[in-house]
Structures are given as C-alpha cells and as structure tokens.
Amino acid sequence: MQYAWNKFLEVSGSLVNLQDFQNSLKVNQEYSGKLDFSNLKNEINVKNVSFSYGENGILNNINLSIPKNKSVAFVGESGSGKTTLVNLLCGLIPPTSGQILIDDLNLNELNKLQFQQRIGYITQEPVIFNDTIFNNITFWAKRTPENEMRCIEALKKASVYEFVYAQAGKLDTVLGNNGINLSGGQRQRISIARELYKEIDILIMDEATSALDSETERAIQENIDALKGQYTLLTVAHRLSTIRNADTIVLLERGAIKEQGNFSELLERVPKFKKMVQLQEV
C-alpha cells in the first residue's frame, strides 16, 4: 500500500496541472454556435455594432448592409477600424454590442467553422510554395480529373489560366520559393485561384500597404472587376484606383461610418474623399 501511495503522490501533481491546463483551454476557447451554415443566400447585415478592446472604443455603432455578390470597399485613415470591421464580419472577433446577421441569423449562433469555410482571404504577401502550380492551388489535393477541372476553373476565374498554360509544364510548372519567378500581380492571382478552388461566398482582400507597383495595382483592379457579381467582395483598399468600380465604398473615420456610396458619388459629395483621390493621383 505504501508503495502504491508513493506512486500516486508522484503523479497526482501532474494530474492537477493537466486539469488546470484543460480548464484554461476551455475558458479561452473560441465560441461557436450550433446552427449549420451551408452558404450565403441573401445578405450580411451589420446592426448597431460597436467594438472595443478593453476600455478602448474602436468601432462605434456601425450599420451596414452587404447584399450577396456585391462588392464593398473600406477606406479610411490608418487606425480608423477597417481591419477590425472585416475581422468582425468574418466572425474572428465578436461585437461588443449590436449584431451581425447572416441571412437574418446572428453570426454568433452559426457554426463558425462552417461559416469561415465559405470565406476566402487574400493578403498582399501570399505564401507560394516551392512546388507545382496544381499543388499550390489545391494544397496537395489528389490528382483526379475532377480536381484538375476545379483547379483549371479556379485559374480561369482568377485570370491566370493563360499564364499557366503558356508555361511548358502547365499545371506541373514548379513555382520557385515564395514565387520568386512570379510578378506581384501573378502572385496575387495564384493566391486568388487558391481561394476560389475552395467553394466560397465571400472573398476578402486586405491591402496591407499602399506600396504597390503599378503592375500589381492594375492587376488587383482587374481581379476585383472580374470577380464582381460572382462573389461577395470585401476589400480594404489603400490605393483608391483599385476600387473605382466597387458597388459601395464605405469611408470610415475614427471607428464610425462617415460616408458611403459609389466612387463617383463620393467624389462629388465628400470633399475628404476627393482630396484622398487627388493626393494619390500625383
């Protein structure tokens, strides 16, 4: 008995540790609702949404409606809350107050994983693997005729099919480390094709900086225009030329929506927007 008791004491400490660890995982676990989500049908509705980090109010009473397959661009000074708003729309962070409705259902109550599977995210610096185009697009899917068709479909939608098929290796062309032999525009198109290969409803592009070369800038504008009407496009834009054709441009100022409208409306009505555009046309 003494022996068994000693053995028990040896492990009981780690038992307590493990329990503490499990509890802390539970406390910080991301909340996911129970409602099944298959796809976006009508619209996303942001209702009186505010968000703060602790005491700091970041977004203040945002109201916005985003119909399916429309393109919405967020503009505003750095720190005005564009990325935070997009993160809320993706369900990455919950609103402090107010609601985000997806087809009239509260985003908080949806199965978050299923919802997020319908979202594609494009960054300015996509990772390109030192592997074939097929693997870069499909993330090493099985090489079946169906998957190949889907890959080709995605390449076409992302306007990079011609480029790929001009290469000797076609889908088997190996892209160098981090796409060393691709231009900025091609790299972005490859990463768009990668997102479109998954079946998604919402495509998000967050331009991290305004430091774009003109080729990439043009490519981004062409991509946005080509995808218009097929996906719900949410763009955080720094270069205003890329969002000339967006259905709605939302101008954020210190966490609130200052104005919204299309490019020419804002140009006419909002002196601040006009100034932003003029400053970039130098």
Ligand X SMILES: Nc1ncnc2c1ncn2[C@@H]1O[C@H](COP(=O)(O)OP(=O)(O)O)[C@@H](O)[C@H]1O
Task: Note whether 190 and 136 are within 8 A (CB).
Answer: yes
Type of residue at 56: N
- Interactions with ligand X, residue window 47-86 (CB under 6 A): 53, 56, 58, 76, 78-84
What is the smallest separation between the CB atom of 266 and ligand X, expressed in angstroms?
A: 17
**Binding pattern to ligand X, positions 83-102, x when CB under 6 A?**
xx------------------
Between 212 and 267, CB nearer to Mg ion: 212
Positive/negative CA dihedral, 210, 214, 215, 219? positive
Return d(Cα 31, Cα 49) in angstroms, integer: 18
For residue 108, count CB atoms less than 10 angstroms from its CB and return exposed for 0-12, middle for 13-18, buried for 19 or more. middle
What is the smallest separation between the CB atom of 243 and ligand X, expressed in angstroms?
A: 15
Sequence-ordered alpha helix ranges (H) in 60-208: 82-89, 112-116, 133-138, 145-157, 161-166, 184-197
What is the smallest separation between the CB atom of 280 and Mg ion, expressed in angstroms?
A: 17
Task: Note whether 249 and 54 are within 8 A (CB).
Answer: no
Q: What is the DSSP letter of 172?
A: G
Between 84 and 132, CB nearer to Mg ion: 84
Return d(Cα 262, Cα 228) in angstroms, integer: 14
Between 39 and 83, CB nearer to Mg ion: 83
**Binding pattern to ligand X, positions 175-194, x when CB under 6 A?**
--------------------
Between 171 and 243, CB nearer to Mg ion: 243
Q: Select from Mg ion, ligand X, none the partner in contact with residue 28, using the beta carbon and a kind-dependent cut-off of 5 to 8 Å.
A: none
Return d(Cα 247, Cα 85) in angstroms, integer: 18
Return d(Cα 245, Cα 228) in angstroms, integer: 9
What is the smallest separation between the CB atom of 236 and Mg ion, expressed in angstroms?
A: 6
Between 58 and 202, CB nearer to ligand X: 58
Number of residues that bind ligand X (CB under 6 A): 11
Residues binding Mg ion (CB under 5 A): 83
What is the smallest separation between the CB atom of 145 and ligand X, expressed in angstroms?
A: 42
Task: Note whether 66 and 43 are within 8 A (CB).
Answer: yes
Binding site for ligand X (CB under 6 A): 53, 56, 58, 76, 78-84
